[in-house]
Structure 1
């Protein structure tokens, strides 16, 4: 199968702080171990908002860089060394391609690649250290793509990398035990996909804590057994009440609010586990002495290592998790600035905004 690929495409380019413009760029050509994907949809998350105002480490310079890391689409060309996927295949992706030579990459933790940002040593991260999916076409390493089952829509697949974050986080923790009680703080896309994932993997009680009732309602509709509005209730006291005073076996923090890591600590049973999935603008206050006295184990996870997206994809294909209902707003690529203005202002109560080339 041969697909005719144009020489020029439309792509959003970051020209300066919060200055994202749709311009024409050459269509990239896949290297030996890469594929060219025609983008069907690319989601926007809080990190995409953050990198527009303050560049991340390894980010390409203003005037050339196209962000976007939550994308999905169809393979339209292959590098000379690629035979693992056919042209015409619909695919989901994970973000990070590690160098493949450092100790972390060799054990599957390529999101913690020791050569992060060093393209000469083989590292890349779509939408962070190389051009991403806010464009009509994007190249990606063949090891970082996943063929989509026929029963999954673009909306489902665009949230799969988000679900992969929770699956990888659970790997870092050492998994969960069937029957565990898990608290998820922050009912955004990461939090709601995480709540669904832990329920699918055997957590009996899943308590979601947040400040926006419409998001808590969605978490409940998608499988959370209890929700706690932290505006109207003391979240620590409420979790303690819901667990009969014992505390949760695991707390997963995905909100990024500076107060919530310490709140999560107070929600745990003695010997419990705290998993941090969020990023924070500034250092946070954390009662390390309490954690030590209670023998709390602290874990962090960045992104979707150990091919976690592939496992999340299987959960979605089996109907155990779903991202489609999280997609609340769709914009054409040419209106990308309007979409990000909505995210910043929160007008229209956006959950997941996606852009369609």
Structure 2
């Protein structure tokens, strides 16, 4: 199988804060260990919004940088030494490719690579420190590329990054979740992904906490045993304790990113339990850490979709144990990116995960 690869392609380029333009730029060429992918779909993530509005450390210069880190497509060329993939393969990516040489990468913690942003050392993060997928073509290293099973569409395949983040949070919390009670705070794409991944892995009770009834309803569809709307429930902690026989939950996943949600998370964990911080926080958080220490609660964090959890997400999707369709709500062509971004940011028409198709 051969593809005709043009010299130029359409791509979104960030020219400055809130200045995204559709331009023509050269089609990249795959280097050693890399594949060139004809991008079929790229999802919008909250991190993209931060990149657009504020920029990001180690990102390429304004006027050159194409963002987007949740993408999938077809391999159209391979670089030197690549025999893991062939032209015509349908693939999805995870954003992070560690340097492979620092102690964190050697320990498997490549999303916390000590050479973050150092291309000369081998690190790359698609759509963050190197060009990403809001373009007709993109390159990525084979370490972070996975074949898409036949029963998964390209749009659905962009979900593996979101689901991979959720699985990494569960992985970090201790992994073996069967029979546990969990609390998930924040029914956004990541929180809802934690719900359905935890359900697939055998959690017994899943308590989902949020402020938007439409998303809580979706959470019930995806496996939440109980939902709590904090706008309607005056004492959400009391409700959580009542549902856990006064003990609290073995694991709590904080996916909302506020001081109130952080405080609720630590108070919802049982003695000796685990709280995983999955969200980013816009402001410094104030909380009663004495409570954490006195009750021997473990506070853990995750960044990204480490430990091959994108590959695990693809497997669970192929098995029918997790489903992208309820979370992938809208799709737009590349030329309508600004409309897609508006839908995503302002949650228009119930928008949750919004996909762009180059």
| TM-score above 0.5 | yes
2:326 is paired with a residue whose SS is helix
Preserved CA contact (<8 Å) 2:177 2:198? no
Give the distance between the partners of 1:208 and 1:15, measured in 2 at CA: 39
Residue 247 of structure 1 and its aligned partner are, at CA, apart by 0.8
Matched, 1:232 2:232: yes
Residue 29 of structure 1 and its aligned partner are, at CA, apart by 0.4
Give the distance between the partners of 1:146 and 1:193, measured in 2 at CA: 20
Residue 83 of structure 1 and its aligned partner are, at CA, apart by 0.6
**Which residue of the partner structure matches residue 295 of structure 1?**
296
**What is the 5 A alignment of 1:1-357?**
1-233=1-233, 234-357=235-358
Residue 314 of structure 1 and its aligned partner are, at CA, apart by 1.0
Give the distance between the partners of 1:338 and 1:311, measured in 2 at CA: 32
TM, length-normalised to structure 1: 0.98
Preserved CA contact (<8 Å) 1:193 1:322? no
Preserved CA contact (<8 Å) 1:155 1:324? no
5+ long unaligned stretches in structure 2: none
2:350 is paired with a residue whose SS is coil
Give the distance between the partners of 2:346 and 2:168, measured in 1 at CA: 31
TM, length-normalised to structure 2: 0.97
Aligned length: 357
Q: What is the root-mean-square deviation in Å for CA atoms of aligned residues?
A: 1.1
Preserved CA contact (<8 Å) 1:7 1:26? yes
Runs of 4+ in 1 over 4 A off after TM superposition: none
Give the distance between the partners of 1:201 and 1:282, measured in 2 at CA: 33
Q: In the TM superposition, what whole-angstrom CA distance separates every residue of 1:259-310 from its partner, at most 9, and x where no partner exists?
A: 2111100111111100011111121112110001111001000011111111
More displaced stretch, 253-262 vs 13-22: 253-262
Residue 350 of structure 1 and its aligned partner are, at CA, apart by 1.1
Preserved CA contact (<8 Å) 2:184 2:206? yes
Give the distance between the partners of 1:66 and 1:112, measured in 2 at CA: 23
Give the distance between the partners of 1:217 and 1:72, measured in 2 at CA: 29
Residue 341 of structure 1 and its aligned partner are, at CA, apart by 2.1
2:228 is paired with a residue whose SS is strand
